[in-house]
Structure 1
């Protein structure tokens, strides 16, 4: 796990990078805006302990979720302009874990559905739109959860655990569909992800501490499709998968290289393609979604490599002589529109991602505000026993006073919201003035 300064630096850099993305079209060109971030640059800071994981929402480019050692998950709305002050108030704070939260990941096709996994060995699936937990999986894992991954339509999740098991879980039924004990015999952490065909790609260690990759069919977990030794190193291999090209990129913690493989239906099933090498080791790695790439330069992947004191973009391209759009490199990919609402998914409905073409490049959608509607917790509480009055005044008078207070609260709330909007507009104008745009 990365240290607090490292993750805070990544959070700050991603925030700065996102601002540059929003100021230029298409999204991909933010890569060319490089340099040192000012030490007084506004931050996204609200947790009382180190941030352990972050994840941009796939359906709203202005929303990011963060998980922390303080046991909470916070969801943030990032404005299109660079704010003057740090953002300290999240849109919603999700509380339900009793220990640190080290993993968060958004649902691939349903709006406002967020999964979190904590050190309490519990997985919670949230409806961010209401701030409530949809499903709590608290009796499946007996030890620390290493990673969690959704399948392509979000009907299943795969998990790896310190108990050496890979599990395929139906989260809505709270049921383990299938599991495999020790797909890699080593004791060090494993990782598992779904492929486009529904297979499971894993990374782990042999009994002799050699790094290893595997490809499995969940319908017959007994024997692997592929089990291949890699090298001897202590760094856990982190897989990043592109379902459009079926290429998986392996980035080892502490390595200075990125190896990538193509997964196919023909032997040897996992084909080695190439290795990107550099001089400095990576402390962390980020992966740009496909719609953020520059299709005019045949860019097929972009990583953000975290060093000790900087974040370096790494671009991977396929050399082509033609300037025309390359259909074979860019099949239709998952777009920003969700296929389902959270309530639909919770009741059992499934749908694949809504695809878009990248032929004309991706133009970011207009900033969409994330609205959270929390239900009144008092509505869930049944009255216990006979009602008792603690006031000597007339009940009708008490009701009148209560209504007046409620109206006054509504008025004050509207006033506060108006002031917040005015402050936001003034900050926007001030940022334009300081940037010399007006």
Structure 2
């Protein structure tokens, strides 16, 4: 199957969590497109990005879509209502990459990226108040690779690791202070060399 529309390299794709025929994609062309897979046509194009989109994620109920962009902004869209963001706020200031996932039953966004000094940064944001800034943030061992978050909604635990890492960092994420509860991680002798799957 071929879906035609983006004019630059595609950076990420995510299937809708509830609707099997709905797919979202982001591209170097600064657009997010939502596709009707069955008809193979673009259904909605989300606007407002000024730079490369590093990551996108559907909310658990599938009603909203969050993005992390190279312009240092986090955006949340309600595609059924508007092609413009309904929430916007500051994300990681570094321009080397970022990832976003919904956590805490869709109440918060967890974002991994880099701070202005190039250190790896993980932050938690209230989805209903992105403009209010991060609730909490932590720096994790310096490395040039972006941490890839894998969230388990049943336990509220996020696993973070990246290419070249020898460790999986593990935190329980809660929507009130202290927000990040460090758990026992996992270390290996060999660094990760290719794609990460937990």
- TM-score (structure 2 length as normaliser): 0.91
**1-structure distance, mates of 2:41, 2:94:** 38
Structure 1, residues 88-109: CA drift from partner, whole Å, max 9, x if none? xxxx211111122221110000
1:188 shift after superposition: 2.4
| Alignment-derived partner of residue 158 in structure 2 | 248
Larger radius of gyration: 1
Conserved 8 A contact 1:151-1:198: no
Say whether 1:122 aligns with 2:18: no
Aligned in 2, Cα 1:107/1:193: closer, same or farther, shift over 3 Å? same
**2-structure distance, mates of 1:223, 1:102:** 26
Say whether 1:204 aligns with 2:116: no
| Alignment-derived partner of residue 54 in structure 2 | 146
Q: How does 1:169-248 map to 2 (within 5 A)?
A: 169-172=77-80, 173-181=82-90, 183-195=91-103, 196-221=105-130, 222-248=132-158
1:272 shift after superposition: 0.6
Runs of 4+ in 1 over 4 A off after TM superposition: none
Helix, strand or coil for the counterpart of 1:219?
A: helix
Conserved 8 A contact 1:212-1:231: no
Conserved 8 A contact 1:114-1:128: yes
Helix, strand or coil for the counterpart of 1:220?
A: helix
Aligned in 2, Cα 1:245/1:162: closer, same or farther, shift over 3 Å? same
| Alignment-derived partner of residue 169 in structure 2 | 259
| Alignment-derived partner of residue 285 in structure 1 | 196
Aligned length: 194
| Alignment-derived partner of residue 271 in structure 1 | 181
**2-structure distance, mates of 1:208, 1:249:** 24
Conserved 8 A contact 1:145-1:161: yes
Structure 1, residues 330-361: CA drift from partner, whole Å, max 9, x if none? xxxxxxxxxxxxxxxxxxxxxxxxxxxxxxxx
Aligned in 2, Cα 1:198/1:148: closer, same or farther, shift over 3 Å? same
Structure 1, residues 109-142: CA drift from partner, whole Å, max 9, x if none? 01211111122112111111111211122x3211
Conserved 8 A contact 2:89-2:133: no
> Pairwise CA RMSD of aligned residues?
1.5
**2-structure distance, mates of 1:178, 1:240:** 23
Conserved 8 A contact 1:126-1:134: yes
Say whether 1:94 aligns with 2:3: yes
**2-structure distance, mates of 1:97, 1:224:** 32
Helix, strand or coil for the counterpart of 2:128?
A: helix
1:232 shift after superposition: 1.7
1:266 shift after superposition: 4.3
User: Could you say which structure has the higher strand fraction?
Assistant: 2
- Unaligned runs of at least 5 residues, structure 1: 1-91, 287-302, 304-438
Helix, strand or coil for the counterpart of 1:279?
A: coil
